[in-house]
């Protein structure tokens, strides 16, 4: 039996007296999409932080490919094939799109130029490869940052609110992009946009006050009374 790509086993963390994440478990066995939704402050980004070496869990374990690397440094997670796109795009504005992808390459894997070309074409950014990233439209910046995660040739990519600030057309394009990429790797997506989550039609976890309160297909989650209460109560 091969080890799961990712196994988060009852992870939790508190900041002072605030419990940000409590007892969250998630196993990602192989390629495909998993979604995480939940109100602001639910602990979604903090959960990602513990899966990428940004925050050390107070409790629980994180195994990547069967190796317990709980609390290891960011580099250790990256070397084991985990890449992450942050909530706010942080591209190098003065460098071109291609230069941004070059910088993001895995230092050990020496991603070939043709891999960068493939990423540019997957993202639909071929035509702006030579354009400074600062001149891109907001949606293109988000895609470039997904590309920077792809340039590390990850086995698992974590996307934190990839459609933030996008209009409906860009959101649809992002859903198609994420669906395409999920044939090549595992992807976990944090998102608020229900149209986007519906388009992904994947397993969906609902977080609330640091805990997973529902876990099922998008259709199951959408029909769940508790989930409706959480959203209606907050919005």
What are the residues binding Mg ion (CB under 5 A)? 45
Per rule CB under 6 A, is residue 74 in the interface with ligand ADP?
Answer: no
User: Alpha-carbon distance 222 to 217, whole Å?
Assistant: 9
Least distance to ligand ADP from the beta carbon of 58, Å?
12
Round to whole Å and give the CA distance between 20 and 115: 38
Output the smallest distance, CB 87 to Mg ion, in A. Answer: 5
Q: Which of 34, 35, 44, 111 binds ligand ADP (CB under 6 A)?
A: 44
Both tokens of 37, joined, read 């939704």
DSSP 125: -
Question: What is the C-alpha R_g of the chain?
Answer: 17
The residue count for binding ligand ADP (CB under 6 A) is 11
Q: Which is nearer to ligand ADP, 38 or 81 (CB)?
A: 38
User: Comparing C-alpha atoms, which of 33, 22, 35, 30 is closest to residue 205?
Assistant: 35
Toward ligand ADP, which CB reaches closer, 101 or 206? 206
Q: Which does 43 bind (CB under 5 to 8 A by kind): Mg ion, ligand ADP, none?
A: ligand ADP
Q: Is 45 or 142 the residue whose CB approaches Mg ion more closely?
A: 45
Q: Are 179 and 206 in contact (CB under 8 A)?
A: no
Task: Kindly state whether residue 52 participates in binding ligand ADP, applying the rule CB under 6 A.
Answer: no
What is the 8-class DSSP label of residue 233?
H
Contact residue for ligand ADP among 41, 65, 71, 132 (CB under 6 A): 41
**Residues with Cβ within 8 Å of residue 79, at least 6 apart in sequence:** 108
Contacting ligand ADP (CB under 6 A), which of 34, 46, 52, 204? 46
Cβ distance to ligand ADP smaller for residue 56 or 138? 56
| Chain residues 10-29 in contact with ligand ADP, contact rule CB under 6 A | 15, 18, 20
Can you spell out the DSSP letters for 138-187? Answer: HHHHHHHHHHHHHTT--SEEEEESTTTT--HHHHHHHHHHHHHHTTTSEE
Establish if 40 lies at the interface with ligand ADP (CB under 6 A).
yes
Question: Toward ligand ADP, which CB reaches closer, 16 or 130?
Answer: 16
- Local structure of residue 17 (DSSP, 8 states): T
Of these, 7, 8, 22, 43, which contacts ligand ADP (CB under 6 A)? Answer: 43
E strand residue ranges, the chain: 6-15, 18-28, 32-37, 59-64, 67-68, 82-85, 156-160, 186-190, 203-208, 211-217
Question: Minimum Å distance from CB 190 to Mg ion?
Answer: 6
Residue 16: CB minimum distance to ligand ADP, A: 7
Which residues contact ligand ADP by CB under 6 A? 15, 18, 20, 38, 40-46
């Amino acid at each position: 039996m091969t080890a799961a790509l990712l196994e988060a086993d009852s992870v939790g963390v508190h900041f002072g007296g605030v419990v940000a994440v409590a007892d969250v478990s998630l196993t990602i066995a192989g390629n495909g999409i998993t979604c995480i939704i939940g109100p602001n402050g639910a602990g979604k980004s903090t959960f990602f932080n513990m899966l990428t070496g940004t925050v050390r869990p107070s409790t629980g374990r994180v195994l990547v490919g069967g190796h317990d690397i709980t609390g290891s440094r960011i580099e250790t997670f990256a070397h084991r094939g985990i890449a992450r796109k942050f909530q706010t795009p942080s591209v190098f504005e003065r460098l071109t799109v291609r230069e941004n992808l070059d910088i993001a390459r895995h230092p050990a894997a020496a991603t070939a130029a043709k891999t960068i070309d493939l990423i540019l074409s997957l993202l639909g950014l071929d035509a702006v490869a030579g354009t400074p990233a600062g001149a891109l439209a907001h949606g293109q910046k988000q895609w470039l940052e997904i590309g920077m995660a792809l340039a590390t040739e990850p086995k698992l990519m974590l996307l934190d609110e990839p459609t933030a600030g996008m209009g409906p057309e860009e959101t649809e394009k992002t859903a198609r992009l994420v669906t395409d990429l999920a044939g090549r790797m595992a992807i976990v997506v944090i998102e608020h946009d229900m149209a986007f989550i519906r388009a992904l039609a994947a397993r969906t976890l609902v977080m609330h006050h640091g805990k997973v309160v529902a876990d099922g297909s998008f259709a199951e989650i959408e029909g769940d009374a508790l989930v409706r209460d959480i959203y209606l109560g907050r919005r």
